Amino acid sequence: MNIFKQAKFFWTSIILAVIFSAVMQFLIVGGTLNQFYVNTVFFIGINIILAASLHLIIGITGQFSIGHAGFLAVGAYASAIVTMKLGLPFPLALLAGGAAAALAGLVIGIPTLRLKGDYLAIATLGFGEIVRIVFLNIDYVGGASGMTVSHLTTWPWLIGCVLLTVIVIINFTNSTHGRACISIRENEIAADAMGINTTFYKVTAFVIGAFFAGIAGALYAHNFYIIQPTNFGFLKSFDILILVVLGGLGSMSGAVIAAILLTIISTFLSNYPEVRMVIYSLLLIVMMLFRPQGLLGTKEITSFFKAGKSAKGGVKNDSEDTVA
């Protein structure tokens, strides 16, 4: 029965997502939404992919990585080279961006994921800065002046990649492999003692997260016309980290909701450049003071529906007992 309910919820969510996608496509093509709101919606989608991919690394596997902007940069530049230098179609650019970032995740993951805690954070931060400096000094991709990219990111491609990212990561989390990653997060020594290959699973989660960050980079590059190394500094990594922490470590729903809320807040505060960062920072401080576990903690949004049904069922049973 539980499996039936899960399948029902999954397909209901898919149907609602398709309806939402169709409505948004109609509004965008029909010109109902102006370019400002269209860019905001696109940026929300890209941030959801980034938050979901980092959620797998930090929230599920418990590996404190702050170099996610490096994978975003690798995906952005790799996809831009495929379309602008090689003249290949956009779908191949998406795959190339994801594959290049996954390869980078594998190369950096194997040596660094033997580290833990602050040491891993410093190593991944160093990786992100190395990527930025490398692109800064390669004339083939424009160096410091950046690289001009055609606008090829469309709503169908964006929403398709968002749904793919969320579905793959949720299914991975609910699989035996995902349970192994969660056990590593909870107690790596105990997981290793139980025969779980902790290094393999940490690298696997790192590579999957990097792959989707690379896809986000490809969408980013082909939506904003120009990419520069300064767009992928360590502050960008912290922006992505904030999405995951604010949503709740271990909660995919929280990461998605935080990505939506913070993108909207940041976008509309851009009208007040003098106080934008002050207001943004104060909101984060207040949130961490009154809700340190994040918006949803480690729970998913579906747990609240289940809790509501259980409460209703409990009331019904009590009334039946009273009548009896």
The answer to the question of residue 205 being in a domain is yes
The answer to the question of residue 9 being in a domain is no
What integer pLDDT is reported at residue 309 of this predicted model? 56
Beta bridge partners of 227: 147
The answer to the question of residue 142 being in a domain is yes
Range of the domain at 299: 20-309
The answer to the question of residue 15 being in a domain is no
- Amino acid in position 51: A
Q: In the block, which residue shows the tokens 């990219």?
A: 149
What integer pLDDT is reported at residue 73 of this predicted model? 95
pLDDT, averaged in runs of 10, over the chain (324 residues): 58 81 87 85 94 93 90 95 94 95 92 81 90 92 89 92 93 92 90 89 93 96 90 89 87 90 85 75 81 79 62 49 39
Evaluate whether 255 touches 59 at the Cβ level (below 8 Å): yes
The answer to the question of residue 284 being in a domain is yes
The answer to the question of residue 100 being in a domain is yes
Domain of residue 263, CATH code: 1.10.3470
The answer to the question of residue 169 being in a domain is yes
The answer to the question of residue 1 being in a domain is no
pTM, 2 dp: 0.89
What integer pLDDT is reported at residue 16 of this predicted model? 84
Overall domain count for the chain: 1
CA distance 261 to 215: 22
233: left (phi over 0), alpha (psi -120 to 50) or beta: beta
